Amino acid sequence: MFVEVVIGIALAVTVFLLINGVNALPFAVIGLLAYVLQNYMDKSGIIKNPSRVATGGKSVTFEDIGGQETAKNELLEALDFIKNYDEVKQMGIRPLRGILLTGAPGTGKTLLAKAASSYIDSAFISASGSEFIEMYAGVGAQRVRQLFKTARDLARKNSKKHCVIFIDEIEVIAGVRGKNTSHMEYDQTLNQLLVEMDGLSAKDDDVNILVIGATNRPDILDPAIMRPGRFDRIVKVDLPDKEGRYQILKLHTKDKPLADDVNLEQIARETFGFSGAHLENLCNEAAILAMRSRQKVISQCHFMEAIDKVIMGEKMNRKPTKEEMRRIAVHECGHALISEYFRPNSVSTVTVTSRGGALGYMRQKQEDDMYLYTKNHLEAQIAIALAGAAAEEIVLGDGSTGASGDIDQAVNLAKEIVFSGMSDMGVVDRDSVPLKELHKEISKIINTQKEKVKEIIEKHKGELNTIIDYLMENEKIDGETFRSFLKDLKNFKAA
């Protein structure tokens, strides 16, 4: 109907111009070109609705998400304002317009958004921030308008009062305005999103729209979209702690055949820093390893192997020479010896098997997750990092380039001590401290720890050589076996 009206008006204007002696041909050509361009853009999908309607399949609930109790509670409280709208309205509380989920990749932000939709029994559509941006000016803003229109239409069609719009990687369209000086399309798209979230463009309010955004870069978002009234609540989706990892492992292993020796609590302790996605991949890799070895159940050894694979990568085919193999064994056993000295029961695995970019490695474990570090702890970590090179120098007579990564780690830890005000320099300004003084203090911290490490290794050189020989023969040694070589010492740390 609208197209017919426009065509009628265009013909009337053309006739009027001809009667008055005006050449209407240029106007007709421009109108024809505009019509063809618009028709091409519609058919080619340049202006299209970026949304995807969730249909079919098993719906995700909050019971399907583990290890994020704090985030779930924050989100549930916000959703209750929508679910119990009539009760909340009596208290003068308005429904939330937006919830922003922030956190590292793989922590479950998308799953939380889907569970939110199931919880409030709403329509649900999703889009990605990258789908709104094109080279054509105004397309992104048009797509935002279409997204919100589709959300309202979908809710009405399904007799819903609410609709959840989930925008993943929202930082693409919601970054700080003005940073893309040569591409104003980003700013126009964000401006339209701000208008829609304010509700200024809506002609009625029969449908309540909740926008859930997800990002792992909240630091680059425009302040205008972060204010209350747009994103009313910011929910931090952190990496899970030890108990959270245990709950996630239980979820991902409930349908898998596990052997009696599987200890999920131990696996949770050994996977500090793993996200939910990492843990799901860990369980999947353990199952693959079990199937590869023609086992009908997944054993603890498969999970331990899978941890190494997730962290370091697949085993490499390259085979070092015998001399290189011994140097690698000396290096890794040095790390392990000093790790046990400063942190008893901390060694999980020592191996000379090449994985990813590492020729060998020593993996540590810890009883509890740590988020604050003391000076003693940082100095111990420096000592452990330097122990590989120190062991090479004492046992083999000289060092190698294999310690370069360890030295970088030790320097960064020493900087952490200095910039935290725990060094002899006292409190310093990170940006104005003289480089010469900084270098001098870092060198002092590192050299002090290296001397301690050399002294410990010299005292236990005999035990270290025994462990090295065992590792050369077996290529891998677990923490319990490693510690059994030290049991002959009545008091290892005090010796």
Sign of the Cα pseudo-torsion (172, 176, 181, 185, in order): positive
Residue-wise pLDDT for 227-281, tens only, equals 888 888 888 898 888 888 999 999 999 989 999 999 999 899 888 889 999 999 9
pLDDT-based confidence at residue 75 (cuts at 50, 70, 90): confident
By DSSP bridging, strand 98-102 and strand 208-215 are: parallel
Q: Last residue of a domain, which of 184, 210, 236?
A: 236
Same domain, 303 and 339: no
How confident is the model over 444-491, as pLDDT tens digits?
999 999 999 999 999 998 889 999 999 988 888 888 888 888 865 545
CATH number, position 352:
1.20.58.760
My answer on whether 103 and 194 are in the same domain is yes
Residues 34 and 52: their CA atoms lie apart, in Å, by 29
Question: How much is the pLDDT for 382?
Answer: 95
Looking at the structure, do residues 277 and 333 belong to the same domain, yes or no? no
What pLDDT is stored for residue 2 in this prediction? Answer: 44
**Is 184 found in the same domain as 149?**
yes
Rounded Cα distance, 256 and 393, in Å = 47
Active-site amino acid positions? 332
Distance CA 116, CA 213 (A): 12
- CA-wise closest residue to 380 among 340, 330, 345: 340
Instruction: Give percent above pLDDT 70 in the chain.
Output: 81
The verdict on residue 495 lying in a domain is: no
Asked whether residue 317 is assigned to any structural domain, the reply reads: no
Residue 255 dihedral angles phi and psi, to the nearest 5°: -105, 15
Give the CATH number for residue 201.
Answer: 3.40.50.300
For residue 40, being part of any structural domain is answered with yes
**197 and 326 inside one domain:** no
The answer to the question of residue 147 being in a domain is: yes
Domain assignment present for 88: yes
Which residues form the domain of 293? 242-312
| Backbone torsion region of residue 273, taken as left when φ is above 0, otherwise alpha when ψ lies between -120 and 50, otherwise beta | left
CATH number where 267 lies: 1.10.8.60
In total, the chain counts a number of residues equal to 495
- Residue 282: the pLDDT is 93
One domain, residues 356 and 407? yes
Measured distance CA(290)–CA(271) in Å, rounded: 20
Residue with tokens 């609410």: 162
Same domain, yes or no: 371 and 283: no
Select from 292, 312, 332 the last residue of a domain. 312
Of 259, 256, 310, the residue nearest 282 (C-alpha) = 310
The b/e string for 285-308 (b: 16+ C-beta within 10 A; e otherwise) is bbbebbeeeeeeebbbbbbbbbbb
d(C-alpha 44, C-alpha 484), whole Å: 69
Written in H, E and C, the secondary structure of 250-267 is HHHHCCCCECCCCCHHHH
Same domain, 165 and 260: no
Q: What is the mean pLDDT of the chain?
A: 82
The values of phi and psi at residue 298, to 5°, are -95, 125
Query: Do residues 202 and 75 both lie within one domain?
Result: yes
Q: Average of pLDDT values for 151-161? A: 87
Dump pLDDT digits (tens) for 83-132: 777 787 788 877 788 889 998 888 888 888 888 877 877 788 888 888 87
- Number of structural domains the chain divides into: 4
Which pLDDT score, from 0 to 100, does residue 219 have? 87
Closest CA to 313 of 373, 352, 356: 356
Q: Which of 408, 336, 273 is nearest to 416 (CA)?
A: 408
In a domain, 490, yes or no: no
Shared domain check, 225 and 254 = no
80 and 144 co-located in one domain: yes
Which one-letter amino acid corresponds to residue 410? A
Asked, for residue 372, whether it belongs to a domain, the answer is yes
Domain boundary among 215, 236, 257: 236
187 with 75, same domain: the answer is yes
Would residue 33 count as lying in a domain?
A: yes
